[in-house]
Amino acid sequence: MKFDIKKLSIEEKVTLLTGKEWWRLDSLDGKLPELEMHDGPHGCRRVIYTMENGKIVSRERFSSTAMPSLAVVANTWNTELARLDGETIADEFVEYGKDVLLGPGVNIKRTPLCGRNFEYFSEDPYLSGTMGRAFIEGAESRGVSACVKHYCANNREYDRDYQSSEVDERTLREIYLTPFELALEGKPGCLMTSYNPINGIYASENEYLMNILRNEFGFGGVVMSDWYGVRESGRAHRAGLDVEMPFRTDAYGQVMRAYEAGELSIETIDAEVTRLVELMEKARESRRNGSVKRTHEQRHEIAREIAEEGIVLLKNEDGILPLKSGKIHVSGSGAKSPAIGGGGSSTIQTDYEIRHLGDEIKDILGDAVTILTEKSIFRTNGKVVAGNRVPYTAYDADTVVLSFGTDATIEFEDADRTSLRLPKSMEDIIVETADVNENVVIVLYSGSAIDVSPWIDRVKALLYIGYGGEGIQEATARVLCGKVSPSGKLAETFPMCLEDTPTGSYRGNGFVDRYTEGVFVGYRYYDSYKKNVRFPFGFGLSYAEFEYSDMTVKKHSETDYTVSFTVTNKSDITAKEVAELYVKDVFSAVSRPEKELKGFAKIELAPGESKRVELKLAERAFAYYSVFQKKWYVENGAFEILVGSSSRDIRLKARVDISLPASEQVTFVVH
Ligand code: GLC
């Protein structure tokens, strides 16, 4: 039975527009159903704050399943796993009686310095939005409301509460709004505005962006603020914010003053109250009908499966991987305790005991290997010392596996990195170990791109595992030992160095961060400006070899095509491959990127097996946002359809000529 909000007084309605304590909505003393929300995109983060008079007086933290970070989910390029990730986290929300899952974050990785990149999917809007939509569909399938965040252009943590993201309209549309537009197709119950202003107006008070959300993207759910992300509550609700989180003592007065001054209409208030009541009633239904579907062990297995498919093999010289036999030295900070997540509101406390990587390898390879670990004594320049320099047993090991990376003290919410390098001590150990042993394999965990230049040429293999959640150690061992072929691909470019990135070390002037690079973000920048990169967007090696052939492009209309091609596994092992589809506007009246991702598919192939892949291209795959026409626009002319194993490994090409009626064209461009 739907609650009739006419029964509510104006005082009750205004009360509802601000959260109750930290995680809840105000149920008006039981008149309305309870609703509780929690972070986050990496698991059911149960941190319980007790508040009194708007102040936190205590905090309790409980354990949950630590799922892989969204950056790792993106590196799987597997929408089924993204959906399974959202559904698995939601299953834990059902078990603990929580109603709203504060995630996924779909913010674009504009700079690898951003402290929260581990929490986001990609530098590409299509991949970000597609993975975000799948995650949302998974969560919503369990009756748990997802909350897509942070709307929008929140691409740094530095000065996030004040510094305005200054973005031109076309860039805003093509790069920073598209991930939300695509993710919203997954119909999340909620969306969260970001802390930062956009073009001088705070996201939580930004009528322009709220109108796009409601009137163009058709979002009918609840818009909540980020925590303490509202500057003035009357202005925020006038712009269309539904609820300010968390409870703030001044909020009620500011809203009531705006209402009494005629600055905030009862129609606006009623619309916001209606959406909140609908969300609360949805929560009540879900609590009544919801049932837990998975055990903690099953959730752990899913965490491992996702982590495994998110592992990216970046280098594998002389086929040193997979490991097979002999004396294998395993050490490094990650051998014992790899970072399974970054710092901040997405941090999950897990009870799962992460084992030593050497033990996991031994479990798989058994008597074929002798594992030497860092427990052994160390020797430097002939002197036997205990310490953290070259591991002694690295000297005569057949293969040395060093696991290093950043962690939650380096990549965390509310701050950005200032360097892309690993800690110097780690770089030194890698280089000095390579001095004494030529067979070094690096296992790298980090939330975002790392500048590997000091040591990459000294090692034979590099396996990038990201912040892979509680199942990462088993996943890493399984890939290292060839139980499964690596199938992850980079959703974020690894540049040669920080100076080569579009924004370099610049981070705004404290008031404004001007997005001067425009649409040229990530590979759109590196490819368009022909810049070398260390590892390109969409890149990842396999233990198998794949062949691409027989591409056909079927034209259904001027802007509607079906692209088909065959992928063949030329090796003697079963493996998965991600095939990527890019579109290039050959001649354009506006500056457009060298290529843009517009489709992808992940397929499993048995040895020698071939599969036909079919991908659709519709109008938006060819369009750019025309500012003067205020719409997405396809100009006539030639377009290249590119199919590849990465953005810089194009295997098949085709060309289509779009010829829409002249009456629909606004500019005549030499085709
Ligand atoms: C944080 C984050 C947001 C999170 C919220 C609640 O500041 O920006 O992602 O969901 O507050 O913890």
Query: Which residue out of 345, 346, 348, 412 has the highest number of ligand 1 atoms within 8 Å of its CB and is therefore the one to mutate?
Result: 345
- Tokens matching residue 250: 């001044």
pLDDT of the residue at 408: 96
| pLDDT, tens digit (0-9, with 9 covering 90-100), for 586-642 | 999 999 999 999 999 999 999 999 999 999 999 999 999 999 999 999 999 999 999
Tell me the CB-side half-sphere exposure of residue 7, using CA atoms within 13 A.
7
- The residue type of 239 is A
* Residue 553 CA to ligand 1 centre (angstroms): 44
Question: Could you say which DSSP state residue 338 is in?
Answer: -
First to last CA, the chain: 60
Rounded Cα–Cα distance for residues 87 and 102 (Å): 13
328, 372 contact by CB (below 8 A): yes
What are the tokens at 403? 């696991």
- In order, the DSSP letters of 168-229 are -HHHIIIIIIHHHHHHGGG--SEEEE-SSEETTEEGGG-HHHHHIIIIIS---SEEEPPTT-
d(C-alpha 484, C-alpha 308), whole Å = 8
For ligand 1, the distance from its centroid to the CA atom of residue 236, given in whole angstroms, is 18
CB-based contact 121:68 (threshold 8 Å)? no
With beta carbons less than 8 A apart as the criterion, state whether 53 and 249 touch.
yes
Ligand 1 site-directed mutation target among 42, 101, 102, most atoms within 8 Å of CB: 102
SS3 148: strand
Stretch among 213-217, 428-432, 560-564 having the lowest mean pLDDT? 428-432
What SS3 state is found at 166? strand
- Residue 285 and residue 143: Cα distance in Å, rounded? 8
Percentage, residues of the chain above pLDDT 70: 96
Q: How many CB atoms lie within 10 A of CB 160?
A: 23
Q: What CATH code would you report for 310-502+512-535?
A: 3.40.50.1700
CA distances from 25 to 235, 484, 504, 519 (A): 20, 45, 42, 38
CA separation (Å) from 248 to 17, 231, 244, 254, 374? 11, 11, 8, 11, 51
Which of the listed CATH numbers 2.60.40.10, 1.20.120.420, 2.130.10.10, 3.30.450.30 matches domain 546-664? 2.60.40.10
Q: What pLDDT, on the 0 to 100 scale, is given for residue 669?
A: 58
CATH superfamily of 5-289: Glycoside hydrolase, family 3, N-terminal domain (3.20.20.300)
The Å distance, Cα 345 to ligand 1 centre, comes to 6
Tokens at 614, concatenated:
């079919």
Cis previous bond, 150, omega within 30: yes
Domain 5-289 and domain 546-664, same fold? Reply is no
**Residue 657: active-site member:** no
Q: pLDDT digit string (tens) for 158-183?
A: 999 999 999 999 999 999 999 999 99
Which numbered atom of ligand 1 lies nearest the CA of 103?
10
The stretch 518-525 carries a mean pLDDT of 98
In this structure, the residue with its CA closest to atom 12 of ligand 1 is 345
Q: Kindly report the CA angle at 484 between 65 and 332, in degrees rounded to 5?
A: 65
Cα 561 to middle of ligand 1, angstroms? 41
User: Ligand 1 centre and the CA of 515: distance in Å?
Assistant: 24
Are residues 208 and 153 in contact, defined by beta-carbon separation less than 8 angstroms? no
Which of ligand 1's atoms lies nearest the C-alpha of 195? 8
pLDDT at res. 11: 98
The number of the ligand 1 atom at minimal distance from the alpha carbon of 194 is 8
| Of 565, 542, 489, 577, residue with least CA distance to 122 | 489
Mutate to test the pocket of ligand 1, among 118, 150, 226, 245 (most ligand atoms within 8 A of CB): 226
If phi > 0 it is left, if psi is from -120 to 50 it is alpha, else beta; for residue 259 that is: alpha
Domain boundaries of the chain, sorted by first residue: 5-289, 310-502+512-535, 546-664
Question: Average of pLDDT values for 263-292?
Answer: 97
**Distance from the alpha carbon of residue 302 to the mean position of ligand 1, in angstroms:** 25
How much is the average pLDDT of 456-480? Answer: 98
pLDDT in tens, 29-70: 999 999 999 999 999 999 999 888 888 999 999 999 999 999
| Atom number of ligand 1 nearest to Cα 39 | 10
Rounded (5°) CA angle 592-594-547: 145
Which SS3 state, helix, strand or coil, does residue 471 take?
A: coil
Q: SS3 sequence, 610-646? A: EEEEEEEECHHHCCEEECCCCEEECCCEEEEEEEEEE
CA distance 169 to 147: 25
Q: Using one digit for the tens of pLDDT, what is the confidence trace for 101-116?
A: 999 999 999 999 999 9
Q: With bands split at pLDDT 50, 70 and 90, how would you rate the model's confidence at 668?
A: low
C-alpha 193/C-alpha 206 separation (Å) is 9
Task: Quote the CA–CA distance of 171 and 169 in Å, as a whole number.
Answer: 6
Q: What are phi and psi of 88, to 5 degrees?
A: -70, -40
Average pLDDT for the chain:
95
Start-end of H helices in 337-384: 357-365
Catalytic member of 124, 226, 242, 585: 226
Question: Of 486, 487, 516, 665, which is closest to residue 591 (Cα–Cα)?
Answer: 516
CB 149 within 8 A of CB 105: yes
Q: What is the mean pLDDT of residues 232-256?
A: 98
The string of pLDDT tens digits covering residues 308-355 is 999 999 999 999 999 999 999 999 999 999 999 999 999 999 999 999
Q: Is 60 exceeded by the pLDDT of residue 15?
A: yes
If you take atom 7 of ligand 1, which residue's CA is the nearest one? 227
Give residues (CB < 6 A) around ligand 1.
Answer: 39-40, 102, 149, 226-227, 345
Q: Which amino acid appears at position 416 of this protein?
A: D
pLDDT band at 270 (very low <50, low <70, confident <90, very high): very high
Question: Tens of pLDDT along 368-408?
Answer: 999 998 765 444 455 544 444 666 678 889 999 999 999 99
